[in-house]
Amino acid sequence: MTYPAGPPSPQPYPGRSTVCVRHPDRATGLTCTRCERPACPECLREASVGYQCVDCVHEAARTTSRGTTVAGAGPGGRPVVVPTLIVVNLAIFAWTAVQAQSIASNADSALFDAWALAPGLVAAGEWWRLVTAGFLHIGPLHIAFNMLALWVLGRDMETVLGRGRFLAVYLISLLGGSAAVMLFYAPLQSVAGASGAVFGLMGGLAVVLRRMKAPVGQVIGLIVVNVVISVVIPGISLIGHLGGLVVGAAATAALVYVPVRNRNTMQAGALGGITALLLVIIAITAAMI
């Protein structure tokens, strides 16, 4: 009976016995198959071809490029931004409930008055409302739905995009929803919620799946259901949702479809361009109110 041959044994160093390059007090007749320097058995590691010294093994590990996702992120990153955003939203909701002395009527809090998005107030100079409104929620069901959606959608998106890119898409989607509200809502009509950013993640996930040539049917179905809910249930900002959806999809496409060469620079330029366009739209709209 024959057995498969194992890896070749370390080969003796040509010529006379010499000393290990890492242990001068140890004589050896073995060499590294990569750099051909003498090395003792303790300093050799099994490689795909022969045995290599620990220095060559470390150098190979350092110079070997890691695989990246379609957006250029390193593989296997643990979600950090998503749970952080959830904690921030929950903390702000809790503070509004304390201020209003009611969980169900937390919108009566002073923080809502200062942070909620109203186009007329933005036009009057309160620009922070474009972002802060995305961290306010009206009642427990509102925040529960949005945070659940953020958790389900955000974990995969953060893994694919990477932390910095994911946060950029989230905030740009939020700004996209605010820009839509500025365009189509009455000056004193008030809006709040992270739904614009969450819809942006839905659109972004559809783009990512398309880029990876994976089925997008379930995500498209989820988007359609949520749009229908936004139409049927009164008090939900359909315009803000659609604005976030479109901008989130565009921002994600700018990340996953750019060429690999100079990818980081091109991604930053594309996201910066989308943000600048939104700010121009908001500024023009504010000037017309």
Q: Does 241 participate in catalysis according to the annotation? A: yes
**Is 75:66 a contact under the CB 8 Å cutoff?**
yes
Catalytic residue among 109, 173, 195, 237: 195
The catalytic position among 142, 178, 237, 241 is 241
Q: How far is CA 282 from CA 122, 192, 222, 288, in A?
A: 9, 17, 29, 10
Please give the structure tokens belonging to residue 237.
């900002």
195 is catalytic: yes
Instruction: Provide the annotated active-site residues.
Output: 195, 241
